[in-house]
Amino acid sequence: MLINRHKPEDCACILPSEITPESAYLNRRDLLKAAVAAGLVIPASWQAEAAETQKLNYTKNPGFSVTDKPNTYEEITSYNNFYEFGTNKEDPARNSGSFKPTPWSVKIGGECDVKGTFTLEDILKPHALEERIYRFRCVEAWSMVIPWVGFPLKDLLARFKPNSKAKYVAFKTIVRPSEMIGQRSGTLDWPYVEGLRIDEAMHPLSLMIVGLYGKTLPNQNGAPLRLMTPWKYGFKNIKSIVEISFVEKQPPSTWNITAPSEYGFYSNVNPSVDHPRWSQARERRIGAGGGLFNARQETLMFNGYETQVASLYKGMDLKKYF
């Protein structure tokens, strides 16, 4: 059953080494693309490499980056949760090859003065892209460190002039079952939806993501536009966004609708509030080595972003608002 699938994995996936010179990598990518086009069966992690991505112009933002060693490109793009493409970790890389992230548009509406449907180019035009290396903690008790490329969500939201009734921001993922095999079954209620309180959305750590490792997002990581709130569990970070609306009441969020006793609306990383079926006190860093027996590291309050975000939740009972 689905809900039982969404649990910590005890086995470490086998991950390829990243030590490949760029020229060899590019030739290999051409070969892989040809193999995919010819319908040959290749491992999921290789398919990620075959996917089309483009180089982005960006500046590094060390002030907003952690110094932990980033996971490799292969790790980040071959071990994913994206139920629209299947429920296993390798499914998104394997099944997202024919998803078309261009052309793309995003509908903006609700409690704001500027509404409409905007192309991705309109959305991106005024924003300078930056790279931030963030910690990423999945609710399933594994973690990664990812060099994202994006821009502050608050700068995007401000352009639409939210009014005083805009207490929350709601997000929706695209529904396209012809290209998303997982949407042909009722694993989840589609579209995948998520939401943030407006002050969380306006927090300087909240990012709109368009790329990773200096290139546009591969399909399996949520191309072309996704959310990143590094102090929350991974499932808040909705992928392939087509709708953003400002709302007065707390909006629905997919995992909260699916299993309300297991996944709350806030979903803040909190080592002292366990999931009903497992502890959240420790995490397995993907790629840290050691296979099944690798050392788990302690999970930090708000995923290590406590000094920046704790004030958002001052006075709240975090066991109740989990």
Hunting for tokens 């952690």 — which residue is that? 66
Q: Does 95 bind ligand MTE (CB under 6 A)?
A: no
Query: Interface with ligand MTE includes 243 (CB under 6 A)?
Result: no
Of 152 and 222, nearer to ligand MTE (C-beta) is 222
Closest approach, Cβ 139 to ligand MTE, in A, equals 7
Separation of alpha carbons 225 and 210, rounded Å:
5
For ligand MTE, give the closer residue by CB, 202 or 219.
219
x-marked contacts with ligand MTE along 164-203 as a string, rule CB under 6 A:
---------x------------------x-----------
Residues 160 and 187 sit within 8 Å (Cβ to Cβ) = no
Does 71 interact with ligand MTE (rule: CB under 6 A)? no
Min. distance of Cβ 237 from ligand MTE in angstroms?
Answer: 5
Start-end of H helices in 153-193:
153-158
Q: CB-wise, 35 or 181, nearer to ligand MTE?
A: 181
End-to-end CA gap in the chain: 24
Looking at beta carbons only, is 166 or 180 nearer to ligand MTE?
A: 180
Q: Please count the residues of this chain forming the interface with ligand MTE, following the rule CB under 6 A.
A: 16
Nearest residue (CB) to ligand MTE, 168 versus 263: 263
Closest residue (Cβ) to ligand MTE?
A: 234
- List Cβ neighbours of 136 (8 Å cut-off, separation of 6 or more): 143, 144, 145, 146, 230, 234
Q: Using CA atoms in the order 61, 62, 66, 70, what is the torsion angle rounded to 10 degrees?
A: 70
DSSP 190-253: SSPEEEEEHHHHTSTT-EEEEEETTEEPPGGGTTT-EEE-TTB-GGGS--SEEEEEEESSPPP-
Minimum CB distance to ligand MTE smaller for 16 or for 159: 16
- Please give the Cα distance from 214 to 297 (Å, whole number): 28
| Positions in 113-142 near ligand MTE (CB under 6 A) | 138
Tokens of 143: 């973690």
CB of 7 to ligand MTE, least distance (A): 12
Q: Strand pairing of 226-228 and 297-298?
A: unpaired
**Spatial contact of 35 and 50, defined as CB atoms under 8 Å apart:** yes
Binding mask 215-234 for ligand MTE (x = CB under 6 A): ------xx-----------x
Q: Is 83 in the site for ligand MTE (CB under 6 A)?
A: yes
Cα dist from 223 to 90, 101, 143, 256, 319, whole Å: 17, 6, 21, 24, 34
Least distance between ligand MTE and beta carbon 241 (Å)? 8
Q: Is 96 in the site for ligand MTE (CB under 6 A)?
A: no
Q: Which residues bind ligand MTE (CB under 6 A)?
A: 80-84, 138, 173, 192, 221-222, 234-235, 237-240
